[in-house]
Amino acid sequence: MKKTALYGLAAMFALSFASCDNYKEPNPAPQTNPQESIFKASDVEVSGDLTTGVYDLTQLQADGESITVATVKAVAALPAGCTLAGSVEISADDFDTAFPVASIAEKVADEDAYNIVISPADLEEAYFNNISTSPDKKEIKVRVLAKTVVGKQEAIIGGPTNFAGPYTMTILPEMRRAYLYTPGNSNGWNQVASQPLSCYDGIHFSGYAVLDGEFKFSTEPDWNGINYGEGEEPGTLSTEGGNLSVTTGGLYWCTADLDKLEYTTYYVSTIGVIGDATPNGWGASTPLTTTDNLVWTGTVAFGATGDFKFRANDDWAVNLGGKLNDLGQGGDNIPSPGEGTYEVTLDLGKIPYSCTLVKK
């Protein structure tokens, strides 16, 4: 429980008059109104507890629920027309850096108290924009600056640095992809027309891109973000270097590590279906064909049981597995769709990568 002193609630004024020989006291004398007593900061308490479990921000948004960060309570009667509110900030480093989160004050029934509430969407946006893009659980700090409100006027309780807290909470953000675009010769140096790499941590990007000669990596779908070119050593990146390049035009599996400033490009000449659910088992691929390097198709006879995957260049360096509507590098084996002959369509032009199977 925290009690603080009220900041900036009263201003002192001094009036001075030039002397005048003929000055007369106004008649009648000017009326004065003594200042009414104000609501004291010692009559306010702020309390909060965010330690109960993990705040799953995705689930909270789906359920339409909000998060109560703290309660600001008047331990004496609030003056007429006065309410309580609060400003919220978050940090990952004990407030060496702090970031605001929009909040509202909700009245507690039958009490002179207000819950300071934030939405999980606003918290997640502040977190992703300022702290991390990782979808992993993260412990953060939260603090509250309490206020009094009269009409449209607010007064900070205790001064602009006298926060309540910090309170510790653990959040689980949503799985949000970050993108790294590949503008270059193959797409007219247009980020939106390029095939982006993606990741969930904002650092380790990977994906398929059609490249032809020179290109760059861009963090935004225009030239207003960070743009990476060739570093001083082969396979390294720099924001000041010249264009990256490949010697052969076509489809590439690309990786980029923005912490280490390193990248790779792996030329993909073939893609096939392999597994014990396919005619050649795990020993050889059934090839797919393409006309644009992004959509690969073929007819495959699947067995009643077993699994399969997609792989490039008849090798395991680059292979796709997982769910048919969300395929990923090195993903799990995919169960057979059932015995029969299927038209297979693998789409590498949109993220997430996907496959459709139509039985013939």
In angstroms, the Cα distances linking 312 to 186, 273, 292, 327 are 21, 9, 16, 14
Q: Identify whether the C-beta of residue 285 lies closer than 8 Å to the C-beta of residue 274.
A: yes
* Cα 345 from chain centre: 32
41 in helix, strand or coil? Answer: helix
* Cα 171 from chain centre: 12
- Determine the residue type at 294: L
C-alpha to C-alpha distance for 294 and 194, rounded to whole angstroms: 12
Q: Identify whether the C-beta of residue 344 lies closer than 8 Å to the C-beta of residue 297.
A: yes
Give the torsion sign (CA, 203, 169, 121, 160).
negative
Please give the DSSP secondary-structure letter assigned to residue 138.
E
DSSP one-letter string for 62-104: HHT--EEEEEEEESSPPPTTEEEEEEEEEESSTTSS-EEE--E
**pLDDT band for position 175 (cuts 50, 70, 90):** confident
**Which pLDDT score, from 0 to 100, does residue 312 have?**
98
Q: Which of 315, 316, 314, 319 is nearest to 348 (CA)?
A: 319
Q: Read off the pLDDT of residues 14-52 as tens digits, 9 standing for 90 and up.
A: 323 333 445 455 555 555 444 344 666 677 889 999 998
**Which pLDDT score, from 0 to 100, does residue 358 have?**
98
Token pair for residue 119? 């939405």
Report if pTM > 0.85.
no
21 in helix, strand or coil? Answer: coil
Q: Identify whether the C-beta of residue 89 lies closer than 8 Å to the C-beta of residue 97.
A: no
Q: Beta strand 286-287 with 271-274: parallel, antiparallel or unpaired?
A: antiparallel
C-alpha to C-alpha distance for 123 and 142, rounded to whole angstroms: 10
Q: Identify whether the C-beta of residue 167 lies closer than 8 Å to the C-beta of residue 141.
A: yes
User: What residues have CB less than 8 Å from 346, skipping those under 6 apart?
Assistant: 271, 288, 295, 296, 297, 310, 320, 327, 353, 354, 355
Which domains does the chain show, CATH number per domain? Answer: 41-172 (2.60.40), 178-268 (2.60.40.3620), 271-359 (2.60.40)
Phi first, then psi, for residue 159 (nearest 5°) are 105, 155
pLDDT above 90: residue 205: yes
**What rounded mean pLDDT belongs to the chain?**
89
Q: Read off the pLDDT of residues 136-173 as tens digits, 9 standing for 90 and up.
A: 899 999 999 999 899 888 888 877 888 999 999 999 99
**Which pLDDT score, from 0 to 100, does residue 305 have?**
97
Phi first, then psi, for residue 113 (nearest 5°) are -145, 150
Radius of gyration of the chain, Cα coordinates, nearest whole angstrom: 31
Element (H, E) at 165: strand 164-172
Q: Identify whether the C-beta of residue 216 lies closer than 8 Å to the C-beta of residue 184.
A: yes
**Which pLDDT score, from 0 to 100, does residue 96 have?**
93
**Which pLDDT score, from 0 to 100, does residue 43 have?**
79
